[in-house]
Every structure is written in C-alpha cells, then in structure tokens.
Amino acid sequence: MPATQAETTAMERALSLAARGPKGVNPQVGAVILSPTGEVISEGWHHGAGTAHAEVDALSRLPEGSARGATAVVSLEPCNHTGRTGPCSRALLEAGVARVVYAVADPGDTSSGGAAWLRAAGVDIEPGVLADAGTRLLDSWLTVQRLGRPHVTVKWAQSLDGRAAADDGTSRWITGPAAREDVHRRRAEADVIAAGIGTVLADDPALTARTPEGALREHQPIPLILGRREIPDDAAVRSHPRPFLHRRGHDLSAVLAELSDLGVHCVFVEGGPTLASAFVRAGLADEMLAYLAPVLLGGGRLALDDIGVSTIRDARRLRTVSVDLLGDDLRVIARPAATAEPTKGE
C-alpha cells in the first residue's frame, strides 16, 4: 500500500530527528511510531555508536504492548544483524508492529535484509518514501558502505571568473564572512581536513575549525598534509589541537584506504588547486563544494587545473544539489552525475 499522508509527514519528522544524531561510522537514523489510526505515539533517533538504534529508542518510550498494530516510519531500512545492539527487525516484530515504512535501503553486506525478513514474517513493508531526502542525509555514510572508503568533499573558493587567487598568489579573502563561517562549520563536521604541501608552504593555514569569533570549535578535524616536501618547523599546522598526518606519496586511493583503516568517515579537501584537481582527476571527489565570490581577478591562478579533460566530450558532468546565497557569495554543491545511488536491500 502506498504511503499515506500521515506516513509521509512522519518521514519528514524522522529525517529531522535523524539529523540530531552524530555523523560518523554509524548512520544518522530517525524513527516515528504511528498508532493504527495514524497518530504519532513515539519517536526516537540514534544517539551514537553503542546506543539504541532509532527504532528501539522510539519503542523504549512506549508502554509495553502499545506498539501492537502500529506503523514504524524509519529513515533507514531496519537492520538485520547483531552488533553492539540487536537487530531492529526483530525488535519491531516482537513489539507487534504491523507496518514498516522506510526511506533508504541499507546497503551493508551484514546489516541489510531487515525489510525482506519482516515481510516474510507478515509485516507490511513500504520502501523508498522520501528516498531522495533520505539519501542526501546519509550521503557520506552511504559512500563508505558502497565504496569502502571515506566520503570526500572537495572544497574551493573562487572569483566569478574562476580564479582561486590573484596573480601574486594572494587569496585572503576572496569570499565574505558568511561563506567562511559555513566552511568552518563544515570543517568541524569532517574527520580529516586535507591540504597540499604547496598550500601549507604558501599560505601557512592552521587547518582548524573555528567559530565566527575565532575560538576553536569543540570538534577538530585531523590535519592531513599531502606532498613530498617537508613541513616547516614553525608551520601553523604544528600547533593544531590534533596531531597532523603527513603522507608523501601520490596514490590518493592508498591514502584513503589507510584513513578508512583508521576509522575515518569524512575527508574535507581544502588545500589548493593542485590537490583539489588530483582528487577530481582520480575520480575520488564525491562532492564538490564551491564558493563563488562576485569579484574578478583575471590572471592564470585557476581554482582547478588539470583534471584529465582535453575535449568537451570528456567533461566531468555534475549534478547540482543546491545553490545558496551566503552574504554576497554563492555556495554551490554538486556531485558527479554518473554516481548511482545504492540499490542493495529492499
């Protein structure tokens, strides 16, 4: 049976609840429990690794037996495996839930299959409700599940004519305060912030995440410097609250594999045109984050250089996710157009 209006509204709420949870190795998931007549009787979300999953969190807020015949509206397909916690599919069945509506199928090899298991047990299943919104929320986590490596966001700021700096190399500040604040917020959401050694030598960035007042934010990404040259003893990155990593090789896939082994989930690439272009050229940029300032610089210091395109037929086509005005600047978020959404699961 297609989702009702009450279930669609509940899914909007579930996605909002999911966003309260922390980004990381575990997905952000929200759940809303509807009575047999469509009223919200409970809700919950995943609070972090080792805590109850969203469905169990929502069920735990109900008196025993009151979920019988209810509908569970969940942003991610209920899991079907035992990790730090038990399978949500079993918990829903044992609670007497009669119908499960979810947005995104779980792509995990061990965790997927909850919907099929519940259907086989007689529970009504409705997949794909607000799937696009659910996929956007879980984008970085889904990348890790699908590709087995961290999600990579490549960020740059540019003038309206595509320059990252003036001809003398100066680039502070191309964009305004609102755009810079947005960048620092996104740094704080990443596990690692990557910069090329050329940028470290030229600009001496601190690679910290700061508040608009200049104070350090609570969460700081691990600085990663890529390039063969040495980092100066007085470089600002050496004063970063977290120890930096320095990798001299050019194999970005190997670097990402190492970061994955360290438990890294999200990488924020913010270290100059050479590094940004290398990630794009290697096909390792999952998201492009560009800030366009209404300023003209001319010259040759482009925001990107060689990305492996020699003819228009080879152009790397992107899909625009959003365009927003931040002060006088534009923020454009785009992803590779050929990237397919995960289909494993229901």
The angle subtended at Cα 185 by Cα 182 and Cα 187, nearest 5°, is: 110
Residue 321 has, within 13 A of its CA and on its CB side, a CA count of 19
Q: Which residues contact 314 (CB under 8 A, 6 or more apart)?
A: 308
Q: Which residues are bridge partners to 247 per DSSP?
A: 226
Mean pLDDT (whole number) for 28-52: 92
Model confidence pLDDT, tens digit, residues 2-12: 889 999 999 99
Backbone φ and ψ for 35, nearest 5 degrees, come out as -70, 165
Cα–Cα distances (Å) from 91 to 48, 119, 174, in that order, read 19, 14, 53
pLDDT computed for residue 83 by the predictor: 64
Higher pLDDT among residues 218 and 294, named by residue: 294
- Per-residue pLDDT tens digits for 119-159: 999 999 999 999 999 988 888 788 888 888 999 999 999 99
pLDDT value, residue 75? 96
Contact 140, 28 (CB under 8 A): no
> Amino acid identity, residue 51?
T
Supply the pLDDT for residue 337.
84
55 classed as catalytic? yes
Residue 200: which residues within 8 A CB-CB, separation 6 or more? 225, 227, 231, 232, 235, 237, 271
Q: What pLDDT shows up at residue 346?
A: 35
The residues that bridge with 158 in the sheet, in sequence order, are 292
* pLDDT tens-digit readout, 285-295: 999 999 999 99
Q: Which two tokens stand for residue 213?
A: 């007042």
Q: What is the mean pLDDT of residues 203-211?
A: 91
Q: How many helices (H) and strands (E) does the chain have?
A: 10, 13
Mean pLDDT of the 232-239 span:
93
Where does the pLDDT of residue 342 fall: very low under 50, low under 70, confident under 90, or very high at 90 and above?
A: very low
pLDDT of residue 85: 65
Select which of 12, 39, 43, 55 is catalytic: 55
b/e per residue, 187-203, with b = 16+ CB within 10 A? Answer: bbbbbbbbbbbbbbeeb
Which of the listed CATH numbers 3.20.20.70, 3.40.140.10, 3.30.70.260, 3.30.379.10 matches domain 5-137?
A: 3.40.140.10
SS3 17: helix
Confidence (pLDDT) at 22: 82
Radius of gyration of the chain (CA): 22
> What CATH superfamily classification does 149-336 receive?
Dihydrofolate Reductase, subunit A (3.40.430.10)
Q: What is the mean pLDDT of residues 223-244?
A: 94
Q: pTM for the complete prediction?
A: 0.76
Of 78-82, 205-209, 264-268, least confident by mean pLDDT is 78-82
The three-state secondary structure class of 217 is coil
Q: What is the pLDDT of residue 2?
A: 85
344, pLDDT greater than 50: no
pLDDT, residue 136, reads 86
- For residue 21, name the pLDDT band (cuts at 50, 70, 90): confident
What mean pLDDT, rounded, does the chain reach? 89
- For range 22-43, the mean pLDDT: 90
Residue with tokens 């990630």: 279
Residue 197: the pLDDT is 93
Q: Which residue has the higher pLDDT, 322 or 341?
A: 322
Please tell me the distance from the alpha carbon of residue 90 to that of residue 117, in angstroms, as a whole number: 9
Of 79-83, 120-124, 294-298, minimum mean pLDDT range: 79-83
Secondary structure of the chain: what % helix, strand, coil (to 5)? 30, 25, 50
> Domain coordinates of the chain in residue numbers?
5-137, 149-336
In this predicted structure, the answer to whether residue 29 has a pLDDT above a threshold of 50 is yes
